[in-house]
Amino acid sequence: MSQERAYLDHNASAPILPEVREGVARALALGGNPSSVHAEGRGVRALLDRARQQVADLAGVDPGQVIFTSGGTEANVTALAPAHAGIANDAAHCFVSAIEHPSVLGGGRFPAERVSILSVSSDGVIDCTQLRADLTAFVTASPDTPFLVAVMAANNETGALQPVAEIASIVHELGGKLHCDGVQAAGKIPLDLDALGADMMSLSAHKIGGPQGVGALVLGRSLAQLNDRLISGGGQEHRWRAGTENVSGIIGFGIAADAAVKALARTSNLQDMRDRLETEVMAIAPDAVVIAQTVERLANTMCFAVDGMSAENLVIAFDLAGVAVSAGAACSSGKVERSHVLEAMGVEAALANGAVRVSLGHDTSDRDIELFLTAWRDIHARFVARRQAA
């Protein structure tokens, strides 16, 4: 008999929704290139247009503002270009928060010497008073230099939400542009680009139950066009992103986006499960610390640690017990690295090195929570026994 398992790593990649799987399978059976003018091509184009509308609805924009990409990383790197801070101005500057995804933290296509890091509080949230001071100092010293600020809507490790609308107001008041990485927030909180005030936003399908390898860059109404394309060539995606579209992936993205909009009403169920999880984790281990617990977070995300525990060992122990969770950060080789997010928050190394993220999703059940707590009870008991024996 196979081991009963609980998948609690939705922030890494959500299991594909059944309706998405079926839609992708139907799309793979289609013939025709969406750029062709014959009936087959027009049929595929109609399906892409429908998906574009569905993704636009998720972001609260018009379909013409959606550019499909290969994922959130490409969307971020496309957005972070000097031309999007000031048209054809190579001297533009980029500010990124210290807790961003690596594709943003590096500044995208900005030269390293023109990228500045914005600090966050001990709760992992941008301090808007400090942000205003930093940007004002920059504008005063370099009044003719355009700038772009990149801040995520929700952190993938801690779930902490950023005050994007307030940040946008400050950035625009001082003459800058704002890019928002909405990859982790999509489907978990309402995302209305106009209400947020961002000039660009990135999305990714596989975080909301869609296929991997497809995402979108959404342009705000304040940014009439993409000033610097990452991929040039043909005329696809309004001539903003060349290459024949990933038809099946985009159609799956659209279906997932539609499902995500409808699922927003059920986030309270996730928060109830998350809150129960936190309460019982700390009842089992009173020395456990929940990261960013005092600020507004995604309803599905819990990041916790116990001083002296190893995140890598914890992930392996949970996996052996049939529970999939993740450490704060993982590199492409699958090895656990120290979290730059927790480091930026000032979390002590002994605690940060043991941080584990639990992220719930559309298929999470009470049984999954029970499996996690049973595993945690055993893992923590063995940890305490080893510490007492030492």
What residues are annotated to the active site?
331
CA 93 from chain center: how many Å?
23
Distance, CA of 282 to CA of 178 (rounded, Å): 38
Q: Of 2, 27, 13, which is closest to residue 363 (Cα–Cα)?
A: 13
Q: What are phi and psi of 72, to 5 degrees?
A: -65, -35
Rg (CA), the chain: 22
Mapped to the 3 state alphabet, what secondary structure does the chain carry?
Answer: CCCCCEECECCCCCCCCHHHHHHHHHHHCCCCCCCCCCHHHHHHHHHHHHHHHHHHHHHCCCHHHEEEECCHHHHHHHHCCHHHCCCCCCCCEEEEECCCCHHHHCCCCCCHHHEEEECECCCCCECHHHHHHHHHHHHHHCCCCCEEEECCCECCCCCEECCHHHHHHHHHHCCCEEEEECCCCECCECCCHHHHCCCEEEEEHHHCCCCCCCEEEEECCCCCCCCCCCCCCCCHHHHCCCCCCCHHHHHHHHHHHHHHHHHHHHHHHHHHHHHHHHHHHHHHCCCEEECCCCCCECCCEEEEEECCCCHHHHHHHHHHCCEECEECCECCCCCECCCHHHHHCCCCHHHHCCCEEEECCCCCCHHHHHHHHHHHHHHHHHHHHHHHHC
